[in-house]
């Protein structure tokens, strides 16, 4: 009896293993896993999967959500053991690492039979860049694109008797309004917290500086005069009474502070706007978005710019269901798939011409945010920096920025940040 019990247990374990890997499923279908890190986008991703499986009933796709912190740890371990999910999101910070090591499937020719120039015809250079490897090949299907906007409180602007921010605003208007709101209400103005994409990077590029040389991506620009000037300006904002210092943000994020009525303005990514409307229903109509204020006297350029990033859908080069997965990805990147993503509110589609499908998701609210701001800013977007070594020096450079906020000499710290980044990016 014990022997039979052991055999049955072994067979059960084997059945579970086969089910988990999508092989030998009792229903005869191919079961795929799709890994993402944003629970707010799960319904949109599931809607795309459901549209695909409705056309291909022999396929099932399970959308799995893992927190950002665990996502990359698990994905790297899965890559080393060749047990990666069938489909997964890829971020600009990471794609070159995975692509250059041969971990990701080459998707350059995914649409070759129907449209050899599909990516160039339907996606922006930034979207293509975010899905490319160092060799220029495509290792992902562009998913979305984003940019950074100014979120402001209509309530606090009204209380201070101020006009709302608009496209004419500069840094000077940002600081003047912050001072006026603080004097009138005792609330914070613009909340300048230590962040890259949602903080000082935007100021750097508006002033004509750069984090990585835009021509080669092989040299950092922390000590470049325009960069240093912009970072100094941004860091010094916290010296004003109307701006919290970084110890405040260690306990309270700008978004939390804003929706608690503690501050009037902060920079936010377009990808978070819908969830903020959903999570703070009592605040609907009390806030809106505007373009990022421009640099009034840039060292070079017109003073405008907003960091733009975008995710892509990738799969493993040696995935066991590779051909089926490629067909799924072909659908995800199609006009139909991208429209489903947009209308679900998951994110602004990367597919050119479908950007405003994202507006549909906002029409459920009594007050419609001015989301056209997001679309208009694509004309002045700067691509999120993309270098294969970024993951190695990102945290170390960020640590140096913390020291700057805590009073370290800015010039000395920027020189160290320059040395840290250049020691990697020139490899």
- Residue 92: how many CA atoms within 13 Å on its side-chain side? 22
Q: What pLDDT does 4 receive?
A: 41
pLDDT per position as a tens digit, 56-115: 999 999 999 999 989 999 999 999 999 999 999 999 999 999 999 999 999 999 999 999
pLDDT above 80 for 21? no
Mean pLDDT, residues 356-373: 95
Cα 365 versus chain centre, distance = 24
| Class for the domain spanning 25-145+309-353 | alpha beta
Same fold, 25-145+309-353 and 148-308+375-425: yes
Query: Which sequence spans correspond to the domains of the chain?
Result: 25-145+309-353, 148-308+375-425
- Closest CA relative to residue 86, chosen from 31, 14, 29: 31
pLDDT per position as a tens digit, 328-344: 999 999 999 999 999 99
Total count of residues recorded for the chain: 427
Mean pLDDT, residues 156-162: 98
pTM: predicted TM-score of the whole model, two decimal places = 0.91
Alpha carbon distance 379, 145 (integer Å): 13
Alpha carbon distance 279, 276 (integer Å): 5
Are 417 and 395 in contact by the 8 Å Cβ rule? The answer is: no
Domain spanning 148-308+375-425: CATH 3.40.190.10: yes
Q: What pLDDT does 243 receive?
A: 98
């Amino acid at each position: 009896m014990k022997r039979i019990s052991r055999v049955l247990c072994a067979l059960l374990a084997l059945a579970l293993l086969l089910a988990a890997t999508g092989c030998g499923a009792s229903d005869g279908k191919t079961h795929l896993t799709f890994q993402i890190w944003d629970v707010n986008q799960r319904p949109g991703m599931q809607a795309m999967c459901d549209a695909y499986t409705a056309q291909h009933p022999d396929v099932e796709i399970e959308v799995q959500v893992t927190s950002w912190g665990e996502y990359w740890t698990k994905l790297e371990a899965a890559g080393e053991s060749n047990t990666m999910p069938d489909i997964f999101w890829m971020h600009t910070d990471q794609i070159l690492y995975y692509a250059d090591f041969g971990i990701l499937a080459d998707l350059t020719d995914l649409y070759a039979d129907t449209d050899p120039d599909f990516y160039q015809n339907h996606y922006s250079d930034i979207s293509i860049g975010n899905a490319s490897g160092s060799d220029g090949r495509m290792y992902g299907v562009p998913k979305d694109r984003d940019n950074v906007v100014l979120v402001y409180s209509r309530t606090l602007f009204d209380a201070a008797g101020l006009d709302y921010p608009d496209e004419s605003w500069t840094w000077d208007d940002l600081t003047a309004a912050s001072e006026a709101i603080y004097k009138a209400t005792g609330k914070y103005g613009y909340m300048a917290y230590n962040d890259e994409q949602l903080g000082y990077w935007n100021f750097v590029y508006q002033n004509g500086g750069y984090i990585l040389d835009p021509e080669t991506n092989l040299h950092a620009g922390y000590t470049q005069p325009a960069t240093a000037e912009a970072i100094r300006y941004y860091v010094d904002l916290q010296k004003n009474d109307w701006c919290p210092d970084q110890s405040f943000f260690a306990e309270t994020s700008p978004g939390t502070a804003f929706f608690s009525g503690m501050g009037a303005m902060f920079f936010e990514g377009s990808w978070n706007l819908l969830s903020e409307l959903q999570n703070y229903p009592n605040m609907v109509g009390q806030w809106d978005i505007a373009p990022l204020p421009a640099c009034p006297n840039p060292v070079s350029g017109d003073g405008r710019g907003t960091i733009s990033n975008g995710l892509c859908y990738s799969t493993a080069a040696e995935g066991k269901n590779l051909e089926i997965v490629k067909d799924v990805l072909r659908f995800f990147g199609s006009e139909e798939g991208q429209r489903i993503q947009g209308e679900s509110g998951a994110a602004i589609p990367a597919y050119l011409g479908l950007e405003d499908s994202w507006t549909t998701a906002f029409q459920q609210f009594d007050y419609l945010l001015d989301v056209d701001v997001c679309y208009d800013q694509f004309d002045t977007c700067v691509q999120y920096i993309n270098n294969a070594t970024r993951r190695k020096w990102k945290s170390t450079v960020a640590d140096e920025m913390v020291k700057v906020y805590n009073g370290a000499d800015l010039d000395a710290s920027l020189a160290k940040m320059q040395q840290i980044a250049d020691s990697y990016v020139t490899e």
